[in-house]
Structure 1
Amino acid sequence: MRIIAGEFGGRRLKAVPGMQTRPTTDKVKEAMFSMLGQFFDGGQALDLYAGSGGLAIEAVSRGMDHAFLVDRQYAAIQMIQDNVAVTKMPDCFTIWKMPAEKALVKLATDQQKFELVLLDPPYKQQQMLAQLQQFVELDILQPGATILCETDTTLVYPEEIPHYELKRQQNYGITEVAIFKFIG
């Protein structure tokens, strides 16, 4: 795994050992960021199931000002810390070891708002529709925020999701990527 483009481009990242985490391949990550528009002009990102931290690190490398990385596994947090160290810009990252639900409540309490949310939960735990609704209820999204969802191909989104517009959807083998825009 590596950081593909931007300020930290080409630097190597480590994957979380074991079978608990499924890292996004470089090919899929490159396709995701191509779908997002390649580069960002500041703002905050949230990587709610951070794993190795590769998606959030890529987002900051491509221009996001700051990223929150959340994971509940100790091994993942250790790997995120190692991978953030590769950037030599640790102040651009906030790392929390806690379940996603607890992190969302804390973010809402702290009145954090995000321009980009990266969702790549374990495939067996994907609850995208509930999570999208929770973002609205907790008021953590900036107007026009982008939400990138990486799931397996068994998830079928309804025609309409309140407060969101589906911008793009693409399959990559067993992986599906959907990009939503928050429309309030």
Structure 2
Amino acid sequence: MRVIAGDFKGRQLKSVPTHQTRPTTDKVKEAVFHKIGPFFDGGKALDLFAGSGGLGIEALSRGVSSCIFVDQQQKAIQTIYENIHTLDLTDRTEVFRTDAKRAMKAAGKRGLTFDYIFLDPPYKKFSYKELMEALLDYELLAEQGVIICEHDASEEIPASIGRLDQMDSDVYGSNIGVTIFK
């Protein structure tokens, strides 16, 4: 696993040493960032279900100013810390070991908003509709922000949720789907 483009292009990232996480493939990561970027002039990102932190780190490499990483697994949190220390990104990141709903509630209480929110939960274990409704309820998405959902290709994702509408949806390989909301 590596950073695809930007300041850290080509740098290797450690993956979480467990079978409980599924890193986003380089092919999928590259396609996603070409749709939402491919490069940024600032902005804030939230990487929920962050795993190794690959999506948030890619966003930072491509010009996002800061990123908050959230994961529930201790091994994932350790891996995120190792990756952000290796790339000297500690001053642009925050890392929290908690579940997604608590993290969203805490971010809402802090009055945070994000330009890019990455949702990559374990496939078929979370409702994207409920996750995005919570993001809207806590007012976490910036006015022109986007939410990027990685999901099982067979999973039905609604065309709209609240004020969010699908901007793009693609399938990669036989089992990876990515749907982008704005």
TM-score calculated relative to the size of structure 1: 0.95
Contact 2:48–2:118, Cα closer than 8 Å, also in 1: yes
Note the 1:1-184 alignment, pairs <5 A.
Answer: 1-173=1-173, 174-181=175-182
Q: Once superposed, what is the RMSD of the aligned Cα atoms?
A: 1.0
| Percent identity between the two aligned chains | 43
User: Any runs of at least 4 consecutive aligned residues in structure 1 with deviations exceeding 6 A, and if so which?
Assistant: none
Contact 1:126–1:151, Cα closer than 8 Å, also in 2: no
Runs of 5+ in structure 1 lacking a partner? none
Q: How many residues are aligned here?
A: 181
CA distance in 1: counterparts of 2:89 and 2:160, whole angstroms = 40
* CA displacement at 1:45 relative to structure 2: 0.2
* CA displacement at 1:86 relative to structure 2: 2.1
CA distance in 1: counterparts of 2:159 and 2:39, whole angstroms = 29
Runs of 5+ in structure 2 lacking a partner? none
Secondary structure of 2:161 counterpart: coil
Contact 2:2–2:10, Cα closer than 8 Å, also in 1: yes
Per-residue Cα deviation, 1:59-101 (whole angstroms, up to 9, x for no partner)? 0110110000000100000000111112112111100011111
CA distance in 1: counterparts of 2:44 and 2:136, whole angstroms = 17
* CA displacement at 1:154 relative to structure 2: 2.1
* CA displacement at 1:38 relative to structure 2: 0.5
Aligned AA (1:10): G
Aligned AA (2:91): D
CA distance in 1: counterparts of 2:159 and 2:71, whole angstroms = 30
Aligned AA (2:134): Q
Per-residue Cα deviation, 1:38-70 (whole angstroms, up to 9, x for no partner)? 111111100011000000000011011000000
* CA displacement at 1:157 relative to structure 2: 2.3
* CA displacement at 1:172 relative to structure 2: 0.4
CA distance in 2: counterparts of 1:105 and 1:28, whole angstroms = 29
* CA displacement at 1:9 relative to structure 2: 1.0
Contact 1:11–1:86, Cα closer than 8 Å, also in 2: no
TM-score calculated relative to the size of structure 2: 0.96
Shift of the 155–88 alpha-carbon distance from structure 1 to 2, 3 Å rule, reads: same
